[in-house]
Amino acid sequence: MRDVIEIQTQRLTLKPISMGDAPRIARFANDPAVARMITSAPLPYLQCAAEGWIMTLNARAPLGEDFVFGVHVAGEGLVGVIGAHKKRGGAFDVGYWVGRPYWGRGFASETLNGFVSEARGLGQLIAGHFVDNPASGRVLQKAGFVYTGETDEAYSLGRMARAPVKRMRYAPAIAAPAHDHAMALH
């Protein structure tokens, strides 16, 4: 993962985030349906917020604790973001979003599968989703994550409130059989 420049899946290219991505990141993250399901996007989510986030990522790069990619569709541009961030204890926490115009096409599943195939080399992967976001739980399960049984709370800037989160970890050997959308198209 540390040397990965791009990840290619059947329909998507995962590329390092660049400042040119800020307008589309802001357009899609400035949506309560997205911002409320993640922790780090205040509403409204302005382009300057996206630019500040990208500057912070760039400044943190020497730490080697953040692996973040923009998700691109040919002819469209950036449609989402995925990343893994090192937590205390050493595990990498995986998070992602897809812009609302692109939901329901299997893009999150295809993104997560492609990302995990590289990120699994970092060590233990963990994830969490807000209890009121079962679609993300489904995406994570299909990619090989299992529930740990723990539920705690996380503060969402987009909600301006804490909300319960179900915790998961990557355990493909015991996860339900995955049905990769891209594979299913064959």
Ligand X SMILES: CC(C)(COP(=O)(O)OP(=O)(O)OC[C@H]1O[C@@H](n2cnc3c(N)ncnc32)[C@H](O)[C@@H]1OP(=O)(O)O)[C@@H](O)C(=O)NCCC(=O)NCCS
Of 47, 103, 117, 146, the residue at the interface with ligand X (CB under 6 A) is 103
Between 62 and 75, name the residue whose CB sits nearer to ligand X: 75
Distance CA 44, CA 42 (A): 6
CB of 18 to ligand X, least distance (A): 21
**Angle (nearest 5°) at CA 106 between 94 and 101:** 95
Q: Give, as ranges, the residues between 129 and 148 that touch ligand X (CB under 6 A).
A: 129, 133-136, 138-139
Least gap, CB of 3 to ligand X (angstroms): 26
Residue number, 91 or 108, with CB nearest to ligand X: 108
d(CA 80, CA 72): 7
Among 34, 50, 122, 168, binds ligand X (CB under 6 A): 34
Residue 103 is encoded by which pair of tokens? 């939901």
* Contacts with 167 (C-beta within 8 Å, 6 or more apart), sequence order: 126, 127, 128, 147, 148, 149, 150, 151, 152
Spatial CA neighbour of 37 closest among 87, 124, 96? 96
**Interaction between residue 82 and ligand X (CB under 6 A):** no
We find the least distance from the C-beta atom of residue 62 to ligand X, in angstroms, to be 27
Stretch that binds ligand X, among 1-9, 18-26, 56-64, 99-107 (CB under 6 A): 99-107
Determine which residue in the list 69, 97, 145, 170 makes contact with ligand X, applying CB under 6 A.
Answer: 97
User: Is the CB of residue 80 less than 8 Å from the CB of residue 102?
Assistant: yes
